[in-house]
Structure 1
């Protein structure tokens, strides 16, 4: 489980293709390298990955074909940087919202609007996410727990403060970049349950 509060950024230092999967190795910030263990979970751009090997703060993860296909991790190259969050522990503050690290799909940045005090980023609204992206609701974008701003039929936006831009990759993102999306699981469960009940009621009336 993750909270959507990005703790730092890590640099990709090695990529090794191994047939059906890819191993990539990142250099974690020193402050995020304590108590590492094989099998522990670390989110990369919001995608939950499992530690398979580590030496000091150089940590390896195996990515299966589905992960490479469904997330933006498949397009990474050596020296690229990812948002990092270690798995939440019992008693940790949940500063964002509960996230699983299971990416729904990716989307593209289509516009960036800068002002003196914040930045608004517009994203394409994927068809599969439309029922769950609601104004003032939650969404996970590259591992960041963010509040949704405006929602239009084909796009939505979020508003970012300078601290978020500094702490995460959003300060470097450009129009056209692919971003991982994780829809809020609670929103998805409610919407799907209500839709199923309404469909059953309509069927019974007929």
Structure 2
């Protein structure tokens, strides 16, 4: 499990593409690889990946074809930067909200609005997933736990403070970019349960 509190950025050193599989080699800050073991889980742009090899502060991850299809990891190139978070441990503070690292869908950046002390990003989401997105609710974008701002029929926005921009890759996003989305699991459970009970249907007249 992850907390949605991004711990920093890693740099893509290499991408080894083979049929049905890509191996990502990422360079991490020196102080963020201490105690890493083979088999450890790390969230990379919100996607839970397993460490398969370590060379100093370079960690290796294998991403299967299905993972590449459902996420933005297949678009990564050398020198791209990614958000990372190592798996939470029992007793860790949950500063965001609990995440599984299983990406539900991707969204498109539709608007980037910069002001003096924050940045507002607007994302367009496939309509099938909008039923789980509510103003003031939680959502994970690129592995970061964020509070949802305004919601429309097929978009939502988030407001980012300078510290979030410093730690994450959000400052580099531009219109048309794709991002990974993980829906809040509790919200999804409530919405789906109500739907099974028929409460998602308009009242009959």
RMSD of aligned Cα (Å): 1.5
Query: How far apart are 1:123 and its partner, in Å?
Result: 0.5
Distance across 2 between alignment mates of 1:43 and 1:169: 14
Report which stretch shifted further, 92-101 or 22-31.
22-31
Match of 2:41 in 1: 41
Give the structure-2-normalised TM-score. 0.95
**What is the count of residue pairs matched by the alignment?**
202
Q: Is residue 25 of structure 1 aligned with residue 25 of structure 2?
A: yes
Q: What 5-or-longer segments of structure 2 have no aligned partner?
A: none
Q: What 5-or-longer segments of structure 1 have no aligned partner?
A: none
Match of 1:196 in 2: 196
Relative to its length, the structure with more helix (as a share) is 1
SS of the residue 2:170 aligns to: helix
Q: Is residue 162 of structure 1 aligned with residue 162 of structure 2?
A: yes
| Residues 10, 81 of structure 1: 8 Å contact kept | yes
| Residues 127, 153 of structure 2: 8 Å contact kept | no
Query: How far apart are 1:114 and its partner, in Å?
Result: 1.3
| Residues 125, 153 of structure 1: 8 Å contact kept | no
Query: How far apart are 1:19 and its partner, in Å?
Result: 2.0
Distance across 2 between alignment mates of 1:154 and 1:58: 39
SS of the residue 1:35 aligns to: coil
Query: How far apart are 1:81 and its partner, in Å?
Result: 0.7
Match of 2:145 in 1: 145
Report which stretch shifted further, 19-28 or 99-108.
19-28
Match of 2:53 in 1: 53
Distance across 2 between alignment mates of 1:154 and 1:84: 27
Distance across 1 between alignment mates of 2:112 and 2:18: 37
Give the structure-1-normalised TM-score. 0.95
| Residues 106, 125 of structure 2: 8 Å contact kept | no
For 1:36-65, what per-residue CA distance to the aligned partner results, in whole angstroms no more than 9, with x for missing partners? 111100000010000011111111000000
Distance across 2 between alignment mates of 1:159 and 1:174: 15
